[in-house]
Amino acid sequence: MSLRVAIVGATGAVGEELLRVMEQRRFPVDELLPMASPRSAGRFVEFRGRRVAVTAIDVEKLKTCDVAFLSAGASVSRQLVPQLRGSRVRVYDNTSAYRLDPDVPLVVPEVNARELTDRHHVAAVGNCTGILLLLALAPLERAFGLARVVVSTYQAVSGAGRRALERLKDELRRELDGAPGDVPVPSAAAPAPLAFNCIPAIGDIDPGDDVAARSTGEEKKVVAEVRRVLARPDLPIVATCVRVPVLRAHSESVYVELRDAGATLATVRAALAAAPGVELRDELARGVMPTPRQAAGIDGIHVGRLRPGDQPGSFAFFLAGDQLRKGAALTAVQLAELQLPAIRAASGVP
Amino acid sequence: MSLRVAIVGATGAVGEELLRVMEQRRFPVDELLPMASPRSAGRFVEFRGRRVAVTAIDVEKLKTCDVAFLSAGASVSRQLVPQLRGSRVRVYDNTSAYRLDPDVPLVVPEVNARELTDRHHVAAVGNCTGILLLLALAPLERAFGLARVVVSTYQAVSGAGRRALERLKDELRRELDGAPGDVPVPSAAAPAPLAFNCIPAIGDIDPGDDVAARSTGEEKKVVAEVRRVLARPDLPIVATCVRVPVLRAHSESVYVELRDAGATLATVRAALAAAPGVELRDELARGVMPTPRQAAGIDGIHVGRLRPGDQPGSFAFFLAGDQLRKGAALTAVQLAELQLPAIRAASGVP
């Protein structure tokens, strides 16, 4: 009569953040089952002051859990989810595996919580960049209608994983010491040096030679997921996703054209200020603006630099948010919280 | 019977780069007069293997020069230029002082060289971000007509000067060592920590509370100068300028809508490939793309990530270029080279 909660990918950056978020929000975990790839099994994670051993991924054990957070990559999710169907466990998938599956709701709690019902046993947590963007776009869509979105991102290296983060620090130490050292080998996580660089290539690259191959995996995710969550399959949106040498928190430069050409700076500002998850940081003359350093660890997004664009109904702004927290772990836990009454009822926990 | 060339602001980042560019292009300097603020007078600069003493700024000496490059700030230029009028010296001003003065041509050699004639004794060198952007926009304007431009920048810390660069390195060393150290004091050059951060505020901030105060000095320069150089005073353009922890070379994420809705990926690509100063780096699947690290020290811009936008005639791309070199020093020297026959004639040098 107690909640069993599994984390698949418990030793990764999102897994670690899931543990912290569950602690902070007092998510009712009675038994924690941290799982990971065989490489990481045998390690320990900290939860509520205790060390808990990480095991290999065990499908049979997962079936006996009430909640499973998946953040071990899309291929792992694609393997696990079909095997878990029909069991009691509720799955919150932090990978891209099911985000565009019409049978799986893609939910940002502040935007489309009602799409997640008690009958869903699998829910998808969106791409980090898309979630942060949606917190700002949704209130504008609701109040004025979006006619066009152009977004350029400034994405932190922690979004590429722990090893990329260590590599950035190694590169910086080498360069600051003036020692040439080994030249880093390009990898999928970092196709160019990370230190003192901007890399306009995040995610998988389609090796084809057609037009589709000119957008990156990250850009395709942002576009598709924003359209899906807003239920605007034809929304004109262009995304350019760029890795920058920031440790944590993504930033985004956003340009929007609104359907309601009568929208004013004041009404747009009011719509953003009232939106859940949005905190305005918009006093440029006083140095108050969104920056990734200040956004690290926050639960929503900071929005600022709001100003009119080049025609009636167009506006530009800048946002920053913690991609590991709100962009992944926190949103997953929020989804589980939305289903908590149903989960408790099923498990017999009062 | 020899060319006397002065550099005002010789010890600054742009002054240093002017010296290197003149060496590399064998600009015909017979006598070099490096000048700077009283604080820097007495120091030495290196030119063609010799040490040359830096003097305080001397208007009378400047009047006897053939060429003077000004890069000691807009207020110094505003003081000097009126005093130099009527003298033989040709002034190339690397500050914002005269960029919007209708009597002073604002020239990017690859774009509007013919606006600089022999009768001009003062020419303005544009803002670094604007120059790099114009190298890509001009061929699109010429071939298809621009209907709208949305640009978000990724600007190197060297653009904020040498002290900002040292501060970035200090902050990084402190953070990598884990030592908290002194908290950096916000300044105009860096209103927030530079290390691992993105700062969407470059240039002066109008302290007023109106709409104009919501754009930064840098953003206003980019918009006004692009419009002036393209002779499109009403061009719809929105710029968001952001400082990133890169040492050298600016990057820009650009979205354009073209008047000619029949423009295709192939024709846009061809127009950019043929443009002076543009080198395509556009093979994403092979990791070939513009990055600031690779653009440091180049003479033009790298353009890549070219792809269709969200409607016919719209396109997105990414560019990188060296803001100290092409964005300032090289362009200034190129302007002097354009006037070199007239300069030689006036000085009697064959």
pLDDT for B1 equals 46
B161 contacts B323 by C-beta, under 8 angstroms:
no
What is the residue-wise DSSP string for B215-274?
Answer: S-HHHHHHHHHHHHHTT-TT--EEEE--B-S-SS-EEEEEEEEES-TT--HHHHHHHHHT
Main-chain phi, psi angles of B267, to 5 degrees: -75, -35
Enumerate residues 6+ apart whose C-beta is below 8 A from B11. Answer: B34, B36, B40, B43, B45, B54
Q: Residue A197, Cβ neighbours under 10 Å: how many?
A: 25
Q: How far is B165 from chain A (nearest CA, A)?
A: 11
B293 vs A contacts (CB less than 8 Å): 192-193, 196-197
pLDDT higher than threshold 70 for residue A74: yes
Cβ–Cβ below 8 Å for A292 and B198: yes
pLDDT higher than threshold 70 for residue A1: no
Cβ–Cβ below 8 Å for B287 and A148: no
Enumerate residues 6+ apart whose C-beta is below 8 A from B152. Answer: A152, A240, A253, B239, B240, B242, B252, B253
Q: How many CA atoms does the CB half-sphere of A253 hold within 13 Å?
A: 26
Q: Given pLDDT bands bounded at 50, 70 and 90, which one contains residue A191?
A: confident
Segment A139-149, tens digit of pLDDT: 999 999 999 99
A70 sits in which H/E element: strand A67-70
pLDDT for A181 equals 53
Segment B106-117, tens digit of pLDDT: 999 999 999 999
pLDDT higher than threshold 70 for residue A179: no
Enumerate residues 6+ apart whose C-beta is below 8 A from B21. Answer: B27, B325, B329, B330, B333
Cβ–Cβ below 8 Å for A154 and B150: no
Segment B322-331, tens digit of pLDDT: 999 999 999 9
Cβ–Cβ below 8 Å for B289 and A172: no
B45 sits in which H/E element: strand B44-47
- What CA–CA distance (Å, rounded) separates A145 from A132? 18
- What CA–CA distance (Å, rounded) separates A275 from B177? 39
Q: How far is A104 from chain B (nearest CA, A)?
A: 27
Mean pLDDT (whole number) for B336-347: 94
- For residues A123, A126, A132, A134, the Cα torsion angle rounded to the nearest 10 degrees is -80
Q: Given the DSSP bridges, would you call strands B301-308 and B278-280 parallel, antiparallel or unpaired?
A: parallel
B316 vs A contacts (CB less than 8 Å): 150, 238, 240
Give the residue, B308 or A186, on which the prediction is more confident. Answer: B308
B214 vs A contacts (CB less than 8 Å): 265, 284, 305-308
Q: How far is A280 from chain B (nearest CA, A)?
A: 14
A155 - beta bridge partners?
A243
Which amino acid does the sequence have at A97? Answer: A
B305 contacts B154 by C-beta, under 8 angstroms:
no
**Percent over 70 (pLDDT), chain B:** 96
Closest residue to B238, CB basis, from A255, A265, A306:
A255
Whether A121 is catalytic is: no
Going from the C-alpha of B13 to that of each of A225, B47, B150, B157, B162, the distances in angstroms are 44, 15, 29, 11, 6
Two tokens at A152? 């350029």
Cβ–Cβ below 8 Å for A287 and B311: no
pLDDT for A300 equals 98
Closest residue to B191, CB basis, from A191, A198, A287:
A287
Active-site positions of B read 128, 250
Mean pLDDT (whole number) for B73-93: 97
Q: How far is A185 from chain B (nearest CA, A)?
A: 12
B173 vs A contacts (CB less than 8 Å): 176
pLDDT higher than threshold 80 for residue A304: yes
Closest CA to A242 of A200, A186, A292, A195: A200
- Going along A229-300, which residue ranges are E strands? 237-240, 250-258, 278-280
Cβ–Cβ below 8 Å for B240 and A213: no
A:B CB pairs within 8 Å: 183
pLDDT for B177 equals 82
**Percent over 90 (pLDDT), chain B:** 88
pLDDT for B178 equals 74
Residue A23, judged by CB atoms within 10 A of its CB (0-12, 13-18, 19+), counts as middle
Closest residue to A154, CB basis, from B172, B244, B290:
B244
Cβ–Cβ below 8 Å for B198 and A311: no
Closest residue to A246, CB basis, from B196, B240, B285:
B196
A203 contacts A115 by C-beta, under 8 angstroms:
no
Cβ–Cβ below 8 Å for A244 and B291: no
pLDDT higher than threshold 50 for residue B297: yes
For testing the chain B interface, which of A146, A197, A204, A315 should be mutated: the one with the most B CBs within 10 Å?
A197
Closest residue to B291, CB basis, from A152, A197, A206:
A197
Segment B100-144, tens digit of pLDDT: 999 999 999 999 999 999 999 999 999 999 999 999 999 999 999
**Percent over 70 (pLDDT), chain A:** 96
Cβ–Cβ below 8 Å for B246 and A251: no
Whether A120 is catalytic is: no
Is the alpha carbon torsion for B69, B73, B77, B79 positive or negative? negative
Closest CA to A322 of A21, A29, A60, A99: A21
Segment A7-64, tens digit of pLDDT: 999 999 999 999 999 999 999 999 999 999 999 999 999 999 999 999 999 999 999 9
pLDDT higher than threshold 60 for residue A284: yes
Mean pLDDT (whole number) for B281-309: 96
For testing the chain B interface, which of A204, A214, A220 should be mutated: the one with the most B CBs within 10 Å?
A214
Which amino acid does the sequence have at A167? Answer: R
Q: How many CA atoms does the CB half-sphere of A319 hold within 13 Å?
A: 29
The pLDDT mean for chain A works out to 94
pLDDT higher than threshold 90 for residue A211: no
Segment A143-169, tens digit of pLDDT: 999 999 999 999 999 999 889 999 999
Cβ–Cβ below 8 Å for A200 and B309: no
Given the residues A65, A241, A250, A302, select the one marked as catalytic.
Answer: A250
pLDDT higher than threshold 50 for residue A323: yes
Segment B146-205, tens digit of pLDDT: 999 999 999 999 999 889 999 999 999 999 987 655 556 667 667 899 999 999 999 988
A241 contacts A285 by C-beta, under 8 angstroms:
no
